[in-house]
Amino acid sequence: MTTPKFYSFAVAVFSVTALSRVPAAETILLDPVDAERERTVPVKVYLPETEKPLPVILFSHGLGGSRKASPYLGNHWAEAGFVAVFIQHAGSDEDVWKNAARSERMAAMKEAANFRSSVARYADIPFVIDQLEKWNVGEGHPLRGKLELEHIGMSGHSYGANTTQAMMGQKFPFNTDFHEPRIDAFLALSPSLHKRLTPEEAFGHVQSPVLLMTGTKDGSPIDPTTTPESRMQVFTALPKGDKYQLVLEDAEHFAFSDAGGFSRQNRIEHHHHAIQTISTRFWNAYLKGDPDAKALLQSEAIRKEAELVEADRWEWK
């Protein structure tokens, strides 16, 4: 990959483009410190105006991103009655590429996608949930009494999807897992396989509700072995029961972010609407207990509401 292509990749991940919408909720920036790890875990909270506690959705950004990633989702989910908490992961965030010379950015990004960064990300999630529990009862805190922490969802794109998969209980070598039982439902945007385990070994036991989204051109900017076909194998390996997959025709990797100005595919008009619509129905079903939303997900009727085209694939099991 040439340097100009990577520069476009970096801008595509981290720019706020015309696809971003006018914020529909108050946004709060918080920078809690995990004293045990000596690590700051910045978060951006999309807080709807509410007099009662609302379910919470956590979001983990992709490699080289930040808590500012994908406001099209944060705003939309807040409009739908959820508190969206977007998490930033030091060591695999925007500082990786911002602090590197342009010619060295790709190497820096590849280096940042390592086991140490992954484990740090995995630890960030329970830490943030612990913080939310404290803030929800903290005198004078802007989140006091706003969070229904009995119902938590988690989502993420790319490296954030890897983080989401770990929280839902994906198995790793030596029968290791990082399952976070306080999270009830999971949405992985651009999921991926583990290199050393079969899909069935990694995902065949997952019982939680899971929604996967990918595209027929959803490759990886840093790993040529990750293909659209390999991403779809995650769904195949999951056991039956509350499992869903959306495959968008011609959607490339950044179709699932707030980027999209660098290729025709990333600007396909209905993609963001489909992602917003189906993800919100999923959260309604599994965080708010809405039976109508669940019934819609398990039918072809969702295609019309999400404005899917004939070539887009919607499936459930």
**Average confidence score pLDDT of the chain:** 90
- Is residue 183 within 8 A of residue 58, CB to CB? The reply is yes
Helix 159-167 / helix 115-135 crossing angle, nearest 10 deg: 60
Residues written for the chain: 317
Residue whose entry in the numeric block shows the structure tokens 């981290």:
14
The total of structural domains in the chain comes to 1
The per-residue pLDDT for range 21-75, each reduced to its tens digit, is 444 689 999 999 999 999 999 999 999 999 899 999 999 999 999 999 999 999 9
Amino acid in the structure at residue 266: N
| The two structure tokens encoding residue 160 | 């954030």
CATH code where residue 92 lies: 3.40.50.1820
The per-residue pLDDT for range 270-288, each reduced to its tens digit, is 999 999 999 999 999 999 9
| pLDDT tens track, the chain, 317 positions | 333 333 223 333 332 333 334 446 899 999 999 999 999 999 999 999 998 999 999 999 999 999 999 999 999 999 999 999 999 999 999 989 988 888 888 888 888 788 899 999 999 999 999 999 999 999 999 999 999 999 999 999 999 999 999 999 999 999 999 999 999 999 999 999 998 999 999 999 999 999 999 999 999 988 899 999 999 999 999 999 999 999 999 999 999 998 644 444 456 889 999 999 999 999 999 999 999 999 999 999 999 999 999 999 999 99
CA 176, CA 62: separation in Å to the nearest integer? 23
pTM across the whole model:
0.90
DSSP label of 65: B
The domain of 212 spans 3-316
- Is residue 255 within 8 A of residue 271, CB to CB? The reply is yes
